[in-house]
Structure 1
Amino acid sequence: MRKNSKSDRTDVVIRPAVPADAEALRELRLEALTAHPTAFSADLETNRAQTVAMWVDRINRYDRDEYGVIYIAEAAAKLVGMMGLVRGDSPKTRHSSFIISVYVTNAWRGHQLGERLIDGCLGWAREHGVEIAKLGVSNTNFPAIQCYLNAGFSIYGVEPSAILVDGISYDEFLMSRRV
């Protein structure tokens, strides 16, 4: 597969997750946590214990409560990327959102799927009156940092020792952009 060819990018559908995606989304999340434990604050064992029914409930709750959205990248009927966006739940924080659970499979990196997932999430945010999107990214995850910078995010701070994996602590860059 050639990276960055026009047909490769257009063959991928970027869309909000629906309950029928729950099982594949759970498996993609477990793949992400297994392959890149330093990129996520969530741990593998806790997520492994989450059932498909719990994922269905999460997708439905996001949609029902306008709490947020999970966007997926789908190629040849297989999930190859995901990104969540959650907004504040009080009247004073509903203008603010956080990008979470970002992952693109190794085979699809370099195809601008991260940027396309960001576009989807920020489009949802605009439609729902969200004014700012924030995120945290490991300061050692250089491709993700570059993706966010390319999408207009800027670093506004550092959270020291944001996560601890195998006895090693990792800082996170805190990033934001106006929607």
Structure 2
Amino acid sequence: MIMISTNMRTNNFQYIVREALEVDAKDLSAIRVQIDGETEYLDREKGESYIDESEFKQLIRDDHNSDRNLFLVVQVNTRIVGFSRCEGTTLKRLSHKVQFGVGVLRDYWGYGIGTALLKESLLWADTHGIKKVTLSVLETNEKAIHLYKNHGFEVEGILKQDKLLSDGNYYNTVVMGRFMM
């Protein structure tokens, strides 16, 4: 396993992007619930598919032992404020690709944290023989779609009326992929 730890600075804002550690599990459990409650861009509502501290510890252990998974966190001072995961599989026919997901606390939007997590994940994928990174994004998340396109992702399809949001309307999900350059 190669440890990723990168110091980042945006204007006068500093943070660290690093691999998740088991000691992060309690914080990750709490911020995942908080992030889910702060946006409708993600699949879950606040508290759905809850992962407790022990489950996060196991997930982190499993990811550290896999050459197809990467779990990153963003730390500001001593606080975890965001995370991303690349999840692959050992199935031979699918082993060339990983699924990317990201979440950042709303108070930390606009500092380039999501971009930093994406860049570190793509660098990891490119150096670990991953041929394709996939993701899905809500059609209304235009800022994220623009970011992904700027980093080589292409729209591969649209899942029509895929998500029911709090306004009672159905929205499409955009499926995107990036092939190794």
TM-score (norm. length: structure 1): 0.86
- SS of the counterpart of 2:43? coil
- In structure 1, how many angstroms separate the alpha carbons of the residues matched to 2:10 and 2:131? 33
Which residue of 15, 31, 36 corresponds with 2:34? 31
Q: Which residue of the partner structure matches residue 55 of structure 1?
A: 56
Task: Verify the 8 A CA contact 1:96 1:132 in the aligned structure 2.
Answer: yes
* Greater alpha carbon shift after TM alignment, 61-70 vs 12-21: 61-70
Q: Please list, as runs of the form range in 1=range in 2, the aligned pairs for 1:116-155 lying within 5 A after superposition.
A: 116-155=116-155
Deviations 1:34-67 (A, max 9, x none): 111x32223433333x220001001111111334
Task: Verify the 8 A CA contact 1:61 1:67 in the aligned structure 2.
Answer: no
Matched, 1:7 2:5: no
Counterparts in 2 of 1:29 and 1:140: CA distance versus 1, 3 Å: same
Deviations 1:13-48 (A, max 9, x none): 011111111111111111111111x32223433333
Q: In the TM superposition, what is the alpha-carbon distance from 1:136 to its structure 2 partner?
A: 0.4
- In structure 2, how many angstroms separate the alpha carbons of the residues matched to 1:112 and 1:45? 26
Deviations 1:58-93 (A, max 9, x none): 111111133411111111111122111111330111
Calculate percent identity across the aligned residue pairs.
21
Q: Which runs of 4+ in 1 moved over 4 A?
A: none
Number of aligned residue pairs: 171
- In structure 2, how many angstroms separate the alpha carbons of the residues matched to 1:22 and 1:88? 22
Q: Please list, as runs of the form range in 1=range in 2, the aligned pairs for 1:25-174 lying within 5 A after superposition.
A: 25-36=28-39, 38-48=40-50, 50-100=51-101, 102-166=102-166, 167-174=168-175
Higher relative contact order (CA 8 A, sep 6+): 1
Q: Which runs of 5+ in 1 are unaligned?
A: none
Q: In the TM superposition, what is the alpha-carbon distance from 1:162 to its structure 2 partner?
A: 2.2
Deviations 1:109-131 (A, max 9, x none): 22221111011111222232111
- In structure 2, how many angstroms separate the alpha carbons of the residues matched to 1:83 and 1:22? 14
TM-score (norm. length: structure 2): 0.85
Q: Which runs of 5+ in 2 are unaligned?
A: 1-8
Taking only aligned residues, the RMSD between alpha carbons, in angstroms, comes to 1.8
Amino acid at match of 2:23: A
Bigger share in helix: 1
